[in-house]
Amino acid sequence: MSEIFKRWKNAGCVFNRDFYLIEIFSDYRMLSFDLQGGHYLLPPNTNDEQLSMALLDALSKKR
Q: Can you give the pLDDT at residue 5? A: 45
Q: Can you give the pLDDT at residue 22? A: 87
Q: Say yes or no to pLDDT of 1 above 50.
A: no
pTM assigned to the model: 0.66
Q: Can you give the pLDDT at residue 2? A: 45
Q: Domain of residue 45: give its range.
A: 3-60
Cα separation of 49 and 7, whole Å?
28
Q: Say yes or no to pLDDT of 56 above 90.
A: no
Provide the domain count of the chain: 1
Specify whether the CB–CB gap between 40 and 15 falls below 8 A.
Answer: no
